[in-house]
Structure 1
Amino acid sequence: MALPKRAIAASFLPDRYRYWYSLSKLAMDPLYEAMPGAFDDEREPLLDLGCGIGLLLHCLRAGGCNLPYVGVDTDAMKIDAARDASARGGITDANFQVCDLSVQFPKHHGSVALLDVLQYLPQQAQGTLLAQAAQCVSKQGKLVIRTGLADGTWRSAMTRATDRFGHLVGWMKTSFKAQPSAQELRAVLQRHGLQAEFKPLWGRTPFNNWLVIARRSASAAA
């Protein structure tokens, strides 16, 4: 089922910048079309870490995923935009909070989304955040990650360069710090009882983005 991209983007009006930003993301980034499918069997509450303006929520609702949702982000302006857009879109059962994860991590038990966050953290901070997120995953829940991976390919180099450029021109407040390798990411998740499945998610873009879906392993869930 195709997402109603213009209807979702219209939720961010009258802010024309947010409208065109969200419409371009929905049109060009394969992440958002993939999200309803990633959660189509999910009933656990979802914690969206680094939720930004809340596009994930709109995509899930448009795809028929009505799981309880909490989105957190350090950027208060983005949280305000997310709240306003969800209200305009008729979504009344979601919660957005300003939260600095380096200071306080939300209490949660269910599923977790971590989309385009890891690359803006140093390697040690990535491990800390992954550990905290993994501890929130219930037996029936999952941890869904979208990240670039360090694998020596031209896509990997393009992803790093674009993230740095985005910070240079002011698109992102934080600059690129580090990409995990698939082996490193899998090992961290395994240490916390999660088994991960990796799928390429670059679509028609030049970026080395991957969708990682991690679930509680049978031995850890027992």
Structure 2
Amino acid sequence: MSDDARPLPSATARAIARAYRPAHPLGSYWDYFYVRGKLSSDPLYPGIVDALRGTSAPVLDLGCGLGLLAHALRDAGLALPYRGVDIDAGKIARAARAATRAGLGETGFARLDLARGLPAHRGSVAVLDVLQFVPRQAHDGILDGAIAMLAPGAKLVIRTGFDDGGSRARVTRAVDVFSRVLGWMNAAPRHYPEREALCARLADAGLRVEVDSLSGDTPFNNWRVVAHAP
């Protein structure tokens, strides 16, 4: 995958976003418009779905937010059992409600602070736009825990920015800070991984590592890291 990566089609984004409409017509449409805009502008989910295609292991989504990966997987015809965890209890509740509304099978959600520990799991693991929001000292624990969860043939898929000092990195940090100011994120960015160190840690664990740009037409410094378990 490269910078020609594309987001979901607008019609698909709109269809998925319907599950995030408020229960009452006068309720907040924030999630609906966020989901619709996110899916139609960010190549994140097609890139992660593409990485998981061909696998059969259950997927644990660490820092799942509103659970959009579950919807993208089902839209692509991937019926992988899915579980999402996130520190934000409000997002978890809304993710579960949207999954129910959309009729997604074999999905589950739970609140969890990744800095304090990981749940039991065996399969593939997704860590999407998460590492920069946890303290540097927690990175190793999250990565080691995710690696230990991988079943044979499963994958660890990561989307992250890298601390490379470029203009895209500065834009990414600014937007992450703004997300915290808006209250969308529970934490400000703490530490962006270094590409060489991250890849070396995964390779030292015996995983085959691939790194591709996942910025698409956005100005952000986003990368997809796929680590294949033997």
The verdict on a shared fold, with TM-score over 0.5 as the criterion, is yes
Q: Residue 111 of structure 1: CA displacement?
A: 0.3
2:40 is aligned with what amino acid?
A
Does structure 1 conserve the Cα–Cα contact (< 8 Å) formed by 2:180 and 2:186? yes
Residue 203 of structure 1 is matched in structure 2 by 216
TM-score (norm 1): 0.93
For the pair 1:70 / 2:83, whether they are aligned, the reply is yes
- The gaps in structure 2 that reach 5 residues or longer are 1-6, 23-27
For the pair 1:11 / 2:19, whether they are aligned, the reply is yes
1:189 is aligned with what amino acid?
L
| Higher relative contact order, chain-length normalized (CA < 8 Å, sep 6+) | 2
TM-score (norm 2): 0.90
Q: Residue 36 of structure 1: CA displacement?
A: 2.2
Residue 152 of structure 2 is matched in structure 1 by 139
Q: Secondary structure at the match of 2:116?
A: coil
Mapping 1:35-114, distance limit 5 Å: 35-114=48-127
2:21 is aligned with what amino acid?
L
Residue 213 of structure 1 is matched in structure 2 by 226
> Structure 2 vs 1, CA of residues 150 and 104 (structure 1 numbering), >3 Å: closer, same or farther?
closer
Q: Secondary structure at the match of 2:126?
A: strand
Q: RMSD across aligned C-alpha pairs, in angstroms? A: 1.5
Does structure 2 conserve the Cα–Cα contact (< 8 Å) formed by 1:186 and 1:195? no
**Alpha-carbon separation, structure 2, partners of 1:2 and 1:128:** 33
Structure 1 residues 84-141: Cα deviation after superposition (integer angstroms, max 9, x where no partner)? 0001101132111112223331111110000000011222211111111111011110
Question: Which deviates the most, 6-15 or 51-60?
Answer: 6-15
**Alpha-carbon separation, structure 2, partners of 1:12 and 1:168:** 23
Residue 181 of structure 2 is matched in structure 1 by 168
Residue 126 of structure 1 is matched in structure 2 by 139
1:50 is aligned with what amino acid?
G
The percent identity for this pair of structures is: 44
Q: Secondary structure at the match of 1:107?
A: coil
Consecutive aligned runs of 4 or more in structure 1 exceeding 6 Å deviation = none
- The gaps in structure 1 that reach 5 residues or longer are none
Residue 149 of structure 1 is matched in structure 2 by 162
**Alpha-carbon separation, structure 2, partners of 1:128 and 1:2:** 33
* Count of aligned pairs: 217
1:12 is aligned with what amino acid?
Y
Does structure 2 conserve the Cα–Cα contact (< 8 Å) formed by 1:36 and 1:64? no
Residue 30 of structure 1 is matched in structure 2 by 43
1:192 is aligned with what amino acid?
A
Structure 1 residues 164-191: Cα deviation after superposition (integer angstroms, max 9, x where no partner)? 1221232211001111111011112123
2:14 is aligned with what amino acid?
R
